[in-house]
Structure 1
Amino acid sequence: MSTQLGIGSRVEHQHFGRGVVVDVAQEFYIIWFKSQQGTKSISKDYELKITEATEGGGTTGEGVTIADIEQALNNILDQRLHDTQMVPIAQKWKRGNMILKPGDTTQQPKEIPIDTFFHKIIMVRDRLRVMEQKINAHKGMDDADKIELQQYITAIYGSLTTFNVLFKETHHQFKGSGGKE
């Protein structure tokens, strides 16, 4: 290949498909391929189809490394894990309390603000969604295993439909498989 690709160049490989150059070494490019969800070292002599080239040729010491990309992805995932969508509680439940009354009358009842309980339910839902994404993206699982785990998650959503009365908007509610809970 006569063209010297820089970091950020977009290429297409015969076997690995589309990729982005993430580092440039003396004799090869390090390319992140979407199909592999990872990087491969590809010789500069290999015939890549260039879909978008950025100028460059050698490393300047300021290039993006694999560690930089991994750190950026980890930062994004951390933000998504702690990023909860604003989901409004139904007006009638605002500032309400939930009272847990034990069957044993010698024990004290427990009073919990419904807003706090609702927030915990939303956190469970958001973490289930992240788990679904991680299962779908997992490289070591075959499709049958992914489907089996997805069915368990759907059943969990179905079990949580009891709490749908707390949601202001129906599109935020839990939806199971439509069968038994």
Structure 2
Amino acid sequence: MELDPHELKKLMKEAIREELGASDCRIAKRWKDGLITLHSDNPTVQPKEIPMDAFFKKITSVREKLRVLEQKLNNHKSLTPEEKLEFQTLISRAYGSLTTFNILFEDEEDRFVGVKG
């Protein structure tokens, strides 16, 4: 079986994303192609518009980095179980801080979940 370079690149990307725990999550349809506009209370400051798709990619990038951090933490050999638990709690709280952005996700299973209780 011979793969063309495009197909090989596609397969490599899929393998890397799978290894890192990344997923192809989708932005909710109502936000697709939307804009976020930041307004300062200072009238001399120009508003800043950010494409919603770019903002969504940043949010999912943060999530992917948290997942990698979580994997490295869980596999770390020299941390004590207590230290791992402390760091895991901080990661869970970070996820919880990001739950505000759950409205952006099309699929519920892609949403952030923080500390429950």
Same fold (TM > 0.5)? yes
Deviation at 1:91, TM superposition (A): 0.2
Deviation at 1:178, TM superposition (A): 2.6
Match of 1:171 in 2: 109
Is 1:135 paired with 2:73?
yes
Residue ranges of structure 2 left out of the alignment (5+ in a row)? 1-14
More helix by share: 2
Tell me how far apart the structure 2 counterparts of residues 111 and 140 of structure 1 sit (CA, whole Å). 45
Question: Which structure has more RCO (C-alpha within 8 Å, separation ≥ 6)?
Answer: 2
Tell me how far apart the structure 2 counterparts of residues 173 and 78 of structure 1 sit (CA, whole Å). 21
Deviation at 1:82, TM superposition (A): 7.2
Q: What do residues 102-130 of structure 1 show as CA deviations (whole Å, max 9, x unaligned)? A: 11011100000000000010010011001
Match of 1:104 in 2: 42
Give 4+ residue runs of structure 1 displaced > 2 Å after superposition: 77-84
User: Which structure has the bigger radius of gyration?
Assistant: 1
Residue ranges of structure 1 left out of the alignment (5+ in a row)? 1-76
More strand by share: 1
Deviation at 1:86, TM superposition (A): 0.7
**Count of aligned positions:** 103
TM-score by length of 1: 0.53
Q: What do residues 3-61 of structure 1 show as CA deviations (whole Å, max 9, x unaligned)? A: xxxxxxxxxxxxxxxxxxxxxxxxxxxxxxxxxxxxxxxxxxxxxxxxxxxxxxxxxxx
Contact 1:81 1:127 (8 Å CA) reproduced:
no
Match of 2:52 in 1: 114
